Amino acid sequence: NKGVIFKAIPDGYPVIGEHIELVTREIDIKNFPLADGDILIKNQYLSLDPYMRSRMRDPHVESYVDAFKLGKVLEGHGIGTVVKSNNKKYQVGDHYHGFIGWEEYTHIPENAISGDEGLEKEISKSELPKSHFLGLLGMPGFTAYIGLNKIGKPKKGETIFISAASGAVGQVVGQIAKIKGLCVIGTAGDDSKIKYLVNELKFDGAFNYKTCNTDEELTKLCPNGIDIYFDSVGGETLDIVLGHLNTNARVVACGMISQYNTKNPYGVKNLMNVVTKRLLIQGFIVLDHYHEMEPFQKEMREWLKQGKLKYKDDIVEGIQNAPEAFLNILTGKNFGKAVVKIC
Ligand code: NDP
Q: What is the CATH number of the domain that holds 196?
A: 3.40.50.720
13 Cα: distance to centroid of ligand 1 (angstroms): 15
Model pLDDT for residues 247-303, shown as the tens digit of each residue: 999 999 999 999 999 999 999 999 999 999 999 999 999 999 999 999 999 999 999
Pocket test for ligand 1, best of 131, 232, 266, 337 (most atoms within 8 A of CB): 232
Domain total of the chain: 2
Say if residue 144 is in the same domain as residue 177.
yes
Report yes or no on 296 lying in a domain: no
Report yes or no on 297 lying in a domain: no
The per-residue pLDDT for 117 is 81
Q: What percent of the chain has pLDDT over 90?
A: 97
Say if residue 158 is in the same domain as residue 54.
no
One-letter amino acid identity for 320?
Q
The per-residue pLDDT for 116 is 80
Report yes or no on 162 lying in a domain: yes
CA-derived radius of gyration, the chain: 21
Model pLDDT for residues 171-184, shown as the tens digit of each residue: 999 999 999 999 99
The Cα–Cα gap between 113 and 279 comes to 41
CA nearest ligand 1 atom 3, residue: 167
The per-residue pLDDT for 119 is 85
The Cα–Cα gap between 239 and 237 comes to 5
CA nearest ligand 1 atom 13, residue: 332
End-to-end CA distance of the chain: 12
Q: Are 162 and 186 in contact (CB under 8 A)?
A: yes
Q: Residue 190 CA: which ligand 1 atom is closest?
A: 47
| Pocket lined around ligand 1, Cβ cut-off 6 Å | 49-51, 140, 143, 164, 167-170, 188-190, 193, 232-233, 254-255, 257-258, 284-286, 329-330, 332, 334, 337-338
Q: Residue 337 CA: which ligand 1 atom is closest?
A: 2
DSSP per-residue letters across 62-113: --SSPPPPTTSB-EEEEEEEEEEE--TT--TT-EEEEEEESBSEEEE-GGG-
Q: Identify the domain containing residue 56 by its residue range.
A: 2-127+312-341
CATH number at residue 100: 3.90.180.10
The whole-number mean pLDDT for each consecutive block of 10 residues of the chain, a chain of 343 residues, reads 97 97 95 96 98 97 95 97 96 95 97 86 91 96 98 98 98 98 98 98 98 98 98 98 98 98 96 98 97 94 96 98 98 98 95
Report yes or no on 66 lying in a domain: yes
